[in-house]
Amino acid sequence: MKISSVKGTRDFYPPQMAVRNFIADGWKAASRRCGFEEFDGPIFEYLQMYQIKSGDEIVEQLFHLTDRGGRDLAIRPEITPTLARMVNEQINALPRPIKWFSIPRLCRAERPQKGRLREFFQWNIDIIGEESTLADAEVIFCSIDYLRSTGLTPKDVVAKISSRKLLAALLKNLGLAEDKLSVLYPILDKKAKIPAEAFTEMLGKEISDSNVIHTIMKLMDLHNADDIAGLVNLNEDAKTALAQLQDLFKTLNAMGIGEYCRFDMSIVRGLAYYTGMVFEVHDAVGDLRAVCGGGRYDNLLKDFGGPAMTAVGMGMGDCVLEILLRERGILKNDTLATKTLDYFIAVADPTLADKAVELAAKIRQAGFSCEFPYKTGALGKQLKQASGYNARKTIILGQEYIQDRQIIIKDMTTGQQQVIAEQSLSL
């Protein structure tokens, strides 16, 4: 019986693995440039962890199981709850601010579609214990710094930034109760994802005043923070949140990424735990899902039984990112080497096959990568094999070695060759 892979998962053959490593290596490099330390956690946690953060409805969106001890577990759909648990367990021993990153493999029980699979990798960066907007700016900067390092420009991607704190203050000024906000956030988050008529209808089910709905619709279309005052009166909470947002944009400009960033009131983020700045990075054309998203979540550690502590973070999945990099011509399978070598040993005389094995072991022991042919054949075929392996240099063992213990070293880039004594090979 032929068994295929599970729908929504991927097999990583060497070419696909090269793409995955290209993305992950870039994520790690950007994280370390910005001072983040790497962490990871278990692939499954207690189901209750995700219910605390997202409610009982999350159960339908993840893979959950009951173990032999009757415990309800879930394969992690995200790593933020794990982060909160780990930080809480060692909160008094960790220096502040805590700047961590991770690239976990995640699973979500949802319908596979373009840019969204049931199993994927996600880059997470978080800063915990820093109240200032500098932490917000650092998270956005690190995200853009990676995207910029791949070759993406402001013509390709845009970071859309808003403030949940500002939105909450404005909605309250419109007469909406505090307990109504958590219901509205997921609806407002859908504005750019569904037809305008459907969006208005969803708002109408929660808000009876048509004037309030009209004002909210106008707010969601704003791309200039200075226009807010013309729609809604700004109380002190709104003024404070707006000042923080303006300070954030000032910092992003100073960091040199201002051209990648813009204010967009329609960025809400559906999850209820965001408390301040929120942002998403989209392709400039707008054809794809968000490349990444995040924001400030100052209550999460407290929700998991820890102390009240400020936090801001971001998550970037590999699926949409890979599509974007391919569409922009930055990522091509045939440009990524699945194998690279420092040395390849070609055997021009079959009697030297054992010597090739001995020399390869010596080279590897010295810390260099090295391959040799398992079966000797024509020298030209072996040189072609070396080129296919992306070897920097090829060592040729032939008559020179039999006569004078000399080897030929060929530079595979320039094609130049030199003959040296075996003991002169510098390793």
Query: How confident is the model at residue 56, as a pLDDT?
Result: 63
Pairing of strands 341-347, 391-397: parallel
How many angstroms separate the CA atoms of 365 and 362, rounded? 5
Q: How far apart are CA 228 and CA 234, in angstroms?
A: 8
Amino acid identity, position 292: C
Report phi then psi at 218, rounded to 5.
-70, -40
pLDDT, one tens digit per residue, over 78-89 is 999 999 999 999
What single-letter amino acid sits at 49?
M
Q: What is the pLDDT of the chain when averaged over all its residues? A: 92
| pLDDT of amino acid 52 | 78
**Residue 315 pLDDT:** 97
Task: Tell me the mean pLDDT in the region 241-259.
Answer: 96
Helical H runs in 178-229? 178-188, 196-206, 210-220
Q: Which residue has the higher pLDDT, 201 or 391?
A: 391
Rg (alpha carbons) of the chain, rounded to whole number: 28
| Predicted confidence (pLDDT) per residue in 90-141, tens digit | 999 999 999 999 999 999 998 888 888 999 999 999 999 999 999 999 999 9
Question: How many residues would you count in the chain?
Answer: 427
What is the amino acid identity at position 100?
A: W
Per residue in 281-325, pLDDT (tens digit) is 999 988 889 999 999 999 888 988 899 999 999 999 999 999 999
pLDDT in tens, 136-175: 999 999 999 999 999 999 999 999 999 999 998 998 988 8
Q: How far apart are CA 277 and CA 262, in angstroms?
A: 13
Torsions phi, psi for 417 (to 5 deg): -125, 150
Domain with CATH 3.40.50.800 in the chain: 339-424
The percent of residues in the chain predicted with pLDDT above 70, rounded, is 98
For the segment 14-39, what is each residue's pLDDT rounded down to a tens digit?
999 999 999 999 999 999 999 999 99
> What DSSP letter does each residue of 297-310 carry, written as one string?
-TTHHHHTTS----
> Cα 194 to chain center, whole Å?
26
Residues 6 or more apart whose Cβ sits within 8 Å of residue 59: 47, 50, 51, 74
Tens-place pLDDT, residues 61-74: 899 999 999 999 99
The alpha carbon of 169 is separated from its chain's Cα centroid by a whole number of angstroms, namely 31
DSSP bridge pairs for 407: 420
Report the pLDDT averaged over residues 213-235. 86
Residue % of the chain over a pLDDT of 90: 68
Pair 412, 421: CB distance under 8 Å: no
In CATH terms, the superfamily for domain 339-424 is: Anticodon-binding domain (3.40.50.800)
Is residue 343 scored above 80 in pLDDT?
Answer: yes
Question: In Å, how far are 60, 112, 203, 361 from 7, measured between CA atoms?
Answer: 17, 8, 35, 42
Q: What residues does CATH 3.30.930.10 cover in the chain?
A: 14-41+79-333
For the segment 267-276, the average pLDDT, to the nearest whole number, is 83
With bands split at pLDDT 50, 70 and 90, how would you rate the model's confidence at 188? Answer: confident
Q: Which CATH class is domain 14-41+79-333?
A: alpha beta
Please tell me whether residue 292 adopts helix, strand or coil conformation: strand
Span 372-410, pLDDT tens digits: 999 989 999 999 999 999 999 999 999 998 899 999 999
The confidence band for 55, taking pLDDT boundaries of 50, 70 and 90, is low
Report residue 287 CA to chain centroid gap: 19
